[in-house]
């Protein structure tokens, strides 16, 4: 699965030839970093890989005023076929990536136990802030989103709120977790 390929190929198929900066602006406008697994900074590298794979092709070079030259690309027939395959694969595959937090919690060590309540409270605050930020953004941009995009953004919100609810269970169990870790260390 390659979200960046789906975004780049899909954007070119839908909107026609563009240059990397236009694609970057589109990704920023659509807030893709909030609900996908890539950041807008990866767009130029993604385009280079698509060019190398023959999924997009150079159309022309443009220059506006004193700005640098920009290479306009368009999707190829092979790119359209790849996009169709990628969409189907992405829609049918389920991906929930492991969180490094889990490994750190499973390997605490006694030296961090005293700091754990503050660390988890800070993590909770960061996640709660992200939940609120995501809700604010969704409310602000909802009128410009398609119905499918609204559901995608809502999905991200559900995942964030689930993470927050789970973290609350960890925080509630913290006295038992700390006691268990101290017992293990003594063994």
> What is the rounded CA–CA span in Å between residue 38 and residue 100?
18
Residues 23 and 48 in one domain: yes
Last residue of some domain: 37, 72, 92? 92
Residues in the chain: 187
HEC assignment per residue over the chain: CCHHHHHHHHHHHHHCCECHHHHHHHHHHCCHHHHCCCCHHHHHHHHHHHHHCCCEEEEEEECCCCCCCEEEEEECHHHHHHHHHHHHHHHHCCCCCCCHHHHHHHCCCHHHCCCHHHHHHHHHHHHHHHHHHHHHHHHHHHHHCCHHHHHHHHHHHHHHHHHHHHHHHHHHCHHHHHHHHHHHHHC
CA dist 60 and 153 (Å) reads 35
110 and 80, same domain (yes or no): no
Give the list of residues 6+ apart from residue 33 with CB closer than 8 angstroms, or none. Answer: 27, 39, 40
pLDDT in the model for residue 126: 96
Last residue of a domain, one of 59, 92, 125: 92
- Residue 128 belongs to domain spanning: 100-186
Which of 92, 114, 149 corresponds to the end of one domain? 92
Whether 25 and 86 share a structural domain: yes
79 and 105, same domain (yes or no): no
Residue-level pLDDT, tens digit, the chain, 187 residues: 588 999 999 999 999 999 999 999 999 888 787 778 888 888 999 999 999 999 999 999 988 888 888 999 999 999 999 999 999 998 998 888 889 999 999 998 888 899 999 999 999 999 999 999 988 988 888 888 889 888 988 888 899 999 999 999 999 999 999 999 888 766 6
pLDDT given at position 187: 64
Domain count, the chain: 2
CATH number at residue 17: 1.10.10.10
């Amino acid at each position: 699965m390659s979200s960046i390929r789906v975004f780049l190929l899909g954007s070119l198929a839908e909107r026609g030839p563009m240059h990397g900066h236009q694609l970057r602006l589109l990704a920023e406008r659509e807030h893709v970093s909030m609900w996908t697994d890539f950041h807008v900074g990866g767009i130029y590298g993604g385009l280079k890989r698509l060019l190398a794979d023959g999924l997009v092709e150079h159309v022309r070079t443009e220059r506006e005023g004193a700005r640098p030259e920009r290479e306009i690309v368009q999707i190829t027939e092979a790119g359209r076929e790849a996009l169709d395959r990628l969409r189907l694969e992405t829609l049918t595959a389920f991906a929930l990536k492991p969180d490094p937090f889990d490994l750190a919690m499973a390997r605490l060590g006694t030296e961090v136990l005293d700091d754990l309540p503050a660390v988890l409270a800070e993590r909770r605050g960061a996640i709660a802030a992200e939940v609120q930020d995501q809700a604010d953004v969704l409310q602000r941009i909802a009128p410009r989103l398609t119905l499918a995009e609204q559901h995608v953004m809502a999905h991200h919100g559900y995942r964030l709120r689930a993470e927050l609810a789970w973290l609350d269970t960890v925080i509630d169990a913290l006295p038992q977790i700390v006691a268990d870790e101290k017992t293990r260390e003594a063994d």
